[in-house]
Amino acid sequence: MKDFDKISIQEMTKNDMLMILKALEYTGTNTKIDDFINLKNSILKELSSLAETTEEEFLEYLSDDPSVEGIL
């Protein structure tokens, strides 16, 4: 197996990314394990920075797809 430090999310759909973020938030909230919330916040911060937008705008961008209705 090839060793690597970073993983690309280039081929991930908006729906999948939103689901991951929501799952981390849900899990952190319901288990009271802050690491899940911290990971969600870290991913969201990095992605919004790459998109040169705010975290709120990035979440809106992910949410504007009609296929994600059931996730929210």
Q: Give, for all 72 residues of the chain, the pLDDT tens digit.
A: 777 777 777 788 889 999 999 999 999 999 999 999 999 999 999 999 999 999 999 999 998 866 655 554
- What are the angstrom distances between the C-alpha of 47 and each of 2, 19, 42, 58? 25, 14, 9, 8
**47 touches 61 (CB < 8 A):** no
pLDDT for the residue numbered 31: 98
**43 touches 19 (CB < 8 A):** no
Collect contacts of 19-25 with beta carbons under 8 A, ≥24 apart.
19/68, 19/71, 21/59, 21/62, 22/71, 22/72
Instruction: State both tokens at 12.
Output: 């991930």
